[in-house]
Amino acid sequence: MAHAVPDLPYAYEALEPQISAETMRFHHDQHHQAYVDKANAALAQTPWADVEPAELLTRLSELPDTIRGTVRNNLGGHFNHVLFWESMSPTGGGEPGGDLARAIKETFRTIGTFKETIEAAAMSTFGSGWAWLVHDGTRVLIVTTTNQDSPLSDDLTPLLGVDVWEHAYYLDYCNRRAEYVRAWLEVVDWDVVAERFAAAPVPDVSDVLLRTVSISGKNTPFGEITLDDARTQSAELGALAGWGPMAKVGTVARAWGELAKNLEGRGATCVAELDPGLVKKMAMDLWVIPPERGMI
Ligand code: MN3
């Protein structure tokens, strides 16, 4: 199986005026094709020739030194561009909805702040690279990668990526990268991004749900904690906030308040009814399990 550049799911001129037909032709027919040709040349006659790009990009460490860099750059380029074409649509733009919008607001507070943040991330990428909305198993966040590195290689699920190589925008926007990113947001197909969000792997939190937490002197499994429990805990810890020996107590009290809001907002009778990503995030915020990953 040789990798191949898929046809665009719309006409070359379909994304005008945000992205010109000329840019799409060069970008899709020349640049993407070059990544595919180089990836195929490197992988031909190797045991990895038939491995799907998404899988191989998580297994780069298994490749011999002689081809690892070439595969990382060119199979990465192939995977990133397929995702990029599919993320845009002549009927795109507007704002995300549903569970995706809720997840974006949990991280960024508002959709407007999210858009400003991905624009800032795109501007902060020095040289060629990508700015991404990704899912880390518990929440969405924005990361950048250089060259054609994929978030998959960092155990992150890419939901949406903006190509900030100059070939993606120079014909239309010259050096006005920010203007390009804002225009690109007007053609993003949020339905496709929402499908990727729904399919993103989530953690197994069964053991987290069983961990016990002491509430008003009674040990309760985290999964069985109710709205009343969360409010009680928030109030009791909140009363201790500022007490010297317990430096983190105010933060943890606020996290219990946040858990109460999540339970109430989703009409959940206990923590076990929340989605696994949220359970894991709340468990980290509450120090039921130790925090393990920072975010932008
Ligand atoms: Mn490109």
> pLDDT tens digit string along 148-175?
999 999 999 999 999 999 999 999 999 9
> pLDDT tens digit string along 222-281?
999 999 999 999 999 888 877 766 667 888 899 999 999 999 988 999 999 998 888 988
Q: Integer distance in angstroms from the first to the last C-alpha of the chain?
A: 38
Distance 252 CA to ligand 1 centre (A): 43
Distance 32 CA to ligand 1 centre (A): 7
Domains (range + CATH), the chain: 12-199 (3.55.40.20), 206-285 (no CATH)
> pLDDT tens digit string along 283-294?
988 888 876 654
Tell me how many degrees the CA angle 197-281-121 measures, rounded to the nearest 5: 60
Compute CA 147 distance to the chain's CA centroid, rounded to the nearest angstrom: 18
Distance 168 CA to ligand 1 centre (A): 5
Distance 260 CA to ligand 1 centre (A): 44
Distance 180 CA to ligand 1 centre (A): 13
b/e burial code for range 84-118 (CB count within 10 A of at least 16 → b): bbbbbbeebbeebeeebbbbbeebbeeeeebbebb
Please tell me the distance from the alpha carbon of residue 132 to that of residue 118, in angstroms, as a whole number.
Answer: 7
Closest C-alpha to 188, from 119, 288, 261 = 119
Distance 164 CA to ligand 1 centre (A): 7
Write the DSSP string, 170-195.
HHHHTT-HHHHHHHHHTTB-HHHHHH
Distance 220 CA to ligand 1 centre (A): 52
Distance 203 CA to ligand 1 centre (A): 32
